[in-house]
């Protein structure tokens, strides 16, 4: 089975790692669109077009059977268009884990760390409204400007990264937040720093394993046999910190830089 996965950068590799813990005998082709990162600072039309271009490239180049949008922002603005264009594909998106956060929070005070575009999207707003309706749940939403860029540079616990996170998390801590949704696939990479700032008094919600389980279920329904060895190929449209790729994956892979625009011509 050929699986295409993409994100604006390295964050989606956290989803790839989760998929590999669930599925065997798959070829995974990952595109880090670092040329256009971060998606969270782009317009909806730009995000949609990047997603359409990458999907067309993955289908043309690797004949993928399944597509994973390992990006909350791309899911918000592109997944409906992709499902209409490619009804034969298994297509799975990434959404902030609001539902599991509500189930696990004891105080009903939930922090949501996400990109500006994700928090503004109608998809997120309708999800949060529907799940918190007729409850006393409080959401403390934070648009994390600059955090993706810090992670992409490999600065997971630098002074600047800690300062950014502290400025957002300390007010949440003062409000009694006990559960935090990691609303971007990059953010699990700074989970340790978040826990340190919150003094380990918080539950962190990451949806990576849920995506892997959902993909496995849909694949089995199409006759996939979950056995064998996996192949992983990583591609980037711009600069990528390979040391960070190694740190996230902990396994062998091939990597190259590509120009999707040229390859689609």
Which sequence positions are flagged as catalytic? Answer: 71, 184
Q: What CA–CA distance (Å, rounded) separates 9 from 33? A: 6
State the DSSP string of 7-47.
Answer: ESSSTTHHHHHHHHHH--S-EEEEEE-GGG--GGGS-HHHH
Burial of 145 (0-12, 13-18, 19+ CB in 10 A): middle
- Name the DSSP class of 199: T
Q: What CA–CA distance (Å, rounded) separates 110 from 88? A: 37
- Extract the tokens encoding 232: 């992983």
Q: What CA–CA distance (Å, rounded) separates 121 from 202? A: 26
Q: What CA–CA distance (Å, rounded) separates 235 from 241? A: 12
Q: What CA–CA distance (Å, rounded) separates 58 from 242? A: 21
**CB under 8 Å to 244, separation ≥6 — which residues?**
10, 152, 154
Q: What CA–CA distance (Å, rounded) separates 64 from 61? A: 8
């Amino acid at each position: 089975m050929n699986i295409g996965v993409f994100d604006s950068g390295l964050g989606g590799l956290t989803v790839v790692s989760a998929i590999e813990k669930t599925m065997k005998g798959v070829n995974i082709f990952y595109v880090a669109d670092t040329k256009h990162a971060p998606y969270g600072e782009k317009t909806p039309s730009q995000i949609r077009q990047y997603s359409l271009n990458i999907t067309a490239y993955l289908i043309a180049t690797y004949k993928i059977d399944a597509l994973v949008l390992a990006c909350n922002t791309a899911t918000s603005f592109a997944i409906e268009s992709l499902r209409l264009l490619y009804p034969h594909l298994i297509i799975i998106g990434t959404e902030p884990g609001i539902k599991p956060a509500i189930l696990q929070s004891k105080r009903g005070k939930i922090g949501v760390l996400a990109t500006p575009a994700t928090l503004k999207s109608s998809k997120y707003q309708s999800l949060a409204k529907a799940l918190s309706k007729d409850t006393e749940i409080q959401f403390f939403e934070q648009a994390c400007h600059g955090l993706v860029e810090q992670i992409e540079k490999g600065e997971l616990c630098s002074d600047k990264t800690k300062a950014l996170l502290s400025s957002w998390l300390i007010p949440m801590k003062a409000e009694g937040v006990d559960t935090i949704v990691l609303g971007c696939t990059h953010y699990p990479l700074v989970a340790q720093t978040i826990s340190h700032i919150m003094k380990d008094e918080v539950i962190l919600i990451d949806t990576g394993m849920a995506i892997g389980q959902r993909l496995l279920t849909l694949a089995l329904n199409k006759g996939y046999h979950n056995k064998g060895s996996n192949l992983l190929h990583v591609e980037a449209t711009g600069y990528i910190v390979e040391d960070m790729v190694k740190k996230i994956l902990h396994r062998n892979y091939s990597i190259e830089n590509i120009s999707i625009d040229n390859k689609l011509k």
